[in-house]
Amino acid sequence: MPFTTNPIKFGTDGWRGVIGADFTMARVAHLAPLCAHVLKQFHPERNTIVVGYDRRFLAEKFAQVVAESLQEYGYDVLLANDYAPTPAFSWCAYDIQDGLGALVLTASHNPPEYLGLKVKGAFGGSVSGDVTAQIEALLDTTLPLPSQKGTITKFDPWISYTKQLQTLVDVAKIREAITSGQLDVTVDVMHGAASTGLSRILDCNINEINHNRDAWFGGRAPEPLARYIPELFRIIKEKAKNNPETLRIGLVFDGDCDRIASIDGEGNYCSTQTLIPILIEHLAKNRGLQGQIVKTVSGSDLIPKIAQLFNIPITETPIGYKYIAEKMLTSQVLVGGEESGGVGYSTHIPERDALLSALYVLEAIVTTGKDIAQLYRDLQVMVNFTSEYDRIDLPLANMEQKNQLEVTLATNPLQTIAGKKVIDCLAIDGYKYRLQDDSWLLIRFSGTEPLLRLYSEGNTSKMVQENLQWAKQEFSS
């Protein structure tokens, strides 16, 4: 049965497609010089572009094709000699001289059959939608070949990146805690590009699981969600039982290492809804750093409460790290984060970086001598607020139903949810309903699928599940 090739379309952080169907060598070879052409408009005097890749199927082969295509069009290419995290290539794009940016072959946390291309600017982060729109506008264009080819030079992307992260945390203190047995760290790298990362930075052995290259990611999407990490749960719970006095943490990174989650020493899953408040306190209180907090509309209510505790201004944006990055380019941002696992800092580059987040979390543990479960409880006590959070995706019958539902919610605002009065509605990205019991429900629509994304937070798990189940019943096909 013939398949239909989907058009090249950039999303919030690059273009991705099914390998061999949408994502082909020919399409990538055509796309790469178009990306470089647009990037060069910002720095006409520059000519070098970084090309990197993760551990997905054929990623290094696609990277070679990208490099050779760029070379044909006169660009000088720094081609990675090995896989590395996407944030490493963003850093390299920022760190090198004569740099236009970086093209990274990765599909991040998406299922194994996908590969993608992320475009990074010379400032060290994802380019804006305006830039990718310029690239898309050139898709039917064949650029003229120059009279002289460029060059391809292999480089190790880990060297500069590792040195940079080592300057941002107290590596010696963290390493001493680990090597002395005070802190036990287990990392699930999900067969992705984070493998060996913490060991390189901390210069000590870190216990990794799922560290081998596996193009099928063990039969799961390489996304740091609780349902994908049963082995890490088992290991942390066994260690808690056998060595209850030892501080411990489980860390998990997505396929290209720009998203993070963790398991605390008591065996509880901790998304960035938990980690961001801990990071804010650590950076503001223990490190004495300054800057505003930027959170997406789906971020926990605990985040602004902790920000207020330290007299830190806070900004709320639509969902998507690009909105946070825009703020980081124009102002000092102490922590900018999203509930899906991406967190960035003005101490670094305007890019979410899971390894840096992990280092800051480890530093918070060894600085305080407390497990992140206790750190989180302490924060909730300080601001007299308890938080439970969950989210689900609700498939709809078709795009027509999705479009009709969008119209309905826009023209007939909800007055009650799960029997609770709606007291406020924020509509910067979907509809976020604040309810009379101080819980909230966020309803967002997928831009490309007949899918409803539902998010909820409340003081109790019961509140959260009431909201989500009400929405599921109300909007199910």
Of 139-148, 211-220, 285-294, 468-477, the poorest mean pLDDT is in: 468-477
Residues 428-453, mean pLDDT to the nearest whole number: 92
Q: Which two tokens stand for residue 449?
A: 């699928």
Residue 301 confidence (pLDDT): 97
Tell whether the torsion through CA atoms of 204, 205, 206 and 208 is positive or negative: positive
pLDDT digits (tens, 9 = 90+) for 151-162: 999 999 999 999
Q: In what order do the strands lie in the sheet with 15-18?
A: 15-18, 114-121, 99-105, 48-53, 76-80, 152-155
pLDDT at 1 over 60: no
Q: Is the pLDDT at 365 greater than 50, yes or no?
A: yes
Q: How far is CA 445 from CA 4, 211, 402, 404, in A?
A: 24, 35, 7, 11
Task: Write the CB contacts of 403 (distance below 8 Å, at least 6 apart in sequence).
Answer: none
Angle between helices 302-309 and 272-281 (to 10 degrees): 0
Give residue 2's pLDDT: 46
Q: What pLDDT is stored for residue 207 in this prediction?
A: 98
Structure pTM?
Answer: 0.95
Instruction: Specify the higher pLDDT residue, 451 or 361.
Output: 361
Q: What is the mean pLDDT of the chain?
A: 96
| pLDDT of 12 above 80 | no
State the pLDDT at residue 447: 73
Residue 77 has pLDDT above 60, yes or no: yes
pLDDT above 70 (res 150)? yes
Report, as an integer, the average pLDDT of 394-423: 94
pLDDT of 304 over the 90 cut = yes
Average pLDDT over residues 176-186: 98
Q: Which residue has the tokens 């082909």?
A: 24
4-13, 122-131, 224-233, 264-273, range with the lowest pLDDT: 4-13
Confidence of residue 320 (pLDDT cuts 50, 70, 90): confident
Domains located in the chain, CATH noted? 15-156 (3.40.120.10), 168-383 (3.40.120.10), 388-475 (3.30.310.50)
Q: Torsion angle, CA of 9/14/19/22, rounded to 10 degrees?
A: 10
Alpha-carbon distance 83 to 6, whole Å? 27
Length of the chain: 477
- Assess whether pLDDT exceeds 60 at residue 3: no
Given a cut of 50, is residue 240 above it in pLDDT?
A: yes
What pLDDT band is residue 395 in, cutting at 50, 70 and 90?
A: very high
HEC letters along the chain: CCCCCCCCCCECCEEEEEECCCECHHHHHHHHHHHHHHHHCCCCCCCEEEEEECCCCCHHHHHHHHHHHHHHCCCEEEEECCCCCHHHHHHHHHHCCCEEEEEEECCCCCCCCEEEEEEEECCCCECCHHHHHHHHHCCCCCCCCCCCCCCEEEECHHHHHHHHHHCCCCHHHHHHHHHCCCEEEEEECCCCCCCCHHHHHHCCCCEEECCCCCCCHHHCCCCCCHHHCHHHHHHHHHHHHHCCCCEEEEEEECCCCCCEEEECCCCCEECHHHHHHHHHHHHHHHCCCCCEEEEECCCCCHHHHHHHHCCCCEEEECCCHHHHHHHHHHCCEEEEECCCCCEECCCCCCCCCHHHHHHHHHHHHHHHCCCHHHHHHHHHHHHCCCCEEEEEEEECCCHHHHHHHHHHHHHCCCCEECCEEEEEEECCCCEEEEECCCCEEEEEECCCCCEEEEEEEECCHHHHHHHHHHHHHHHCC
CA of 425: how far to CAs of 56, 87, 188, 394, 432, in Å? 41, 35, 38, 21, 5
394-to-289, 415, 424, 443 alpha-carbon distances in Å: 40, 21, 23, 10
Q: For a pLDDT cut of 70, what percent of the chain falls above it?
A: 99
